[in-house]
Structure 1
């Protein structure tokens, strides 16, 4: 009897610890995408662990708890995937394809939970939806693993990336335990507890040092004679291939095109060019938008923003005003007025 109580205690401790750490991380995120996805991942693992442990010790648990736990299980894979995507990205906002991806996932989750509740369709949940959730989880694990391998997340000397790798390995272990252990949920509880506890320790150590959970790099400043040729190569690449017109352009993609590590490119921009990748793209896109406003003054503003590579009108207006000092509409009005005052200035000798 005592062993059963201890087993329940340690297994449930993983769930409670996960929910607590997830809440803390979300509160400390301050808009940081990687930290928020990490919080959501730990929350999903914690909820799923709690459901499994309670079901093992209390088989007559209300079916709504089973439904919540299985839904959290479905979201573990996507949360891990988007955590890796955010860590590899260059800004706070999701790319358009990621937004559509996430919207589709949430739509499926809401539709299934509302239209096909566990209480009314237990056979469907047990024999169709649960195996489907495990397969979807596996699919996201494989996709995240491919991203991690391409991102070299295991490189030594990079604690943030080791944290990502630890999350990936931990979720793989949890999935393997669920898939192979059947209803022995305490195994998953113990694994989840280990994963959450290790993650919590790493997070606390990072926060105590005053560093973000996922930092882009921690290297010394690159010498100017080394940085200048690579910054020039970057400028030539953007001019030649006009990559900045792609709204979904990411730092890893540009680094691969240049053939240099992502962290080095990020450091080149931050330390040597005194800008971030996000600001660098915004500058190029504003230049493109300025040319469109001058050459095609009748073009709708939404079309100008889209063709220049901006994902939203609010981003377009804020970036344009920051670079030019005026709004796009005011710039176009001034350019149009100048052309009207001197219509033949280009033909004068």
Structure 2
């Protein structure tokens, strides 16, 4: 694209309550040494979570699917509001500037979806175009950003907003099994918003009717979104899934132990597809923004792409501080990279997310 859309701002939010891995073990009285090891050896120190309410005897209540759905809605809206407000401030914009809203979630099903609820709650223009991306999992942030980028490119000067809303506390089953314990040791709650805008042929925000152009971002301009690519691995379609558990009467997430190796084995193929036709080589990529899928996933991607620990410093830092926040995790890493201020004009970066399908999504960006 001659004038590709650019990231104009980013904002993130996590719950007010958070727990260390040891505190989680204590909260649920976990004594099985295998499960304790899963919690304590996953390179996670703390996660933002909303635990089930306490009962008089000090144990945690068992939440119904209805309870979890209400948690998904309540906590999701609260986090999304904070992330959106932070993002718009970063972009030098206001709610009145938002012309496209894309909401991403996997931790609950709502009709109407978060986009409609947020337009009502925040007072966004009722003529705002919207899209809800639901159920695609941890990779969905880049699936949605593909749509957001396309809309922004077709509407120069108009602000498009993507917000990932993942209340992973609303997707937990506590039954003491290894299957559920792996999930319970990994995921945390979080929301992340990204503002995207295209410019006119002279590199300026185009006029937007009598509203005028969106102001320049408060922070230095973000990278341009150059190209997206997808790689689905049909043979691993059941390796990551969120399905109904009859024994508990609620939805339950499942992660196959082979997921890290499946993702890693296909990472190079996915990157080659992204770079095809660009004239770029892997060595031309200066910055890597990778989904914090888990320690083994990150290590597998590193090994297969030949990346250093420094390349994934923000990915591992987000995992350490927040756990896996599903679709929005990579935006937390991008925010840290942006705040670091090391990216310079002319440099290239790759965004990478992984999730159910099994799927690897990538985006090529440039500063």
- TM-score, length-normalised on structure 1? 0.25
Q: Which structure has the bigger radius of gyration?
A: 1
Normalized per residue, which structure has more strand? 2
Normalized per residue, which structure has more helix? 1
- TM-score, length-normalised on structure 2? 0.24
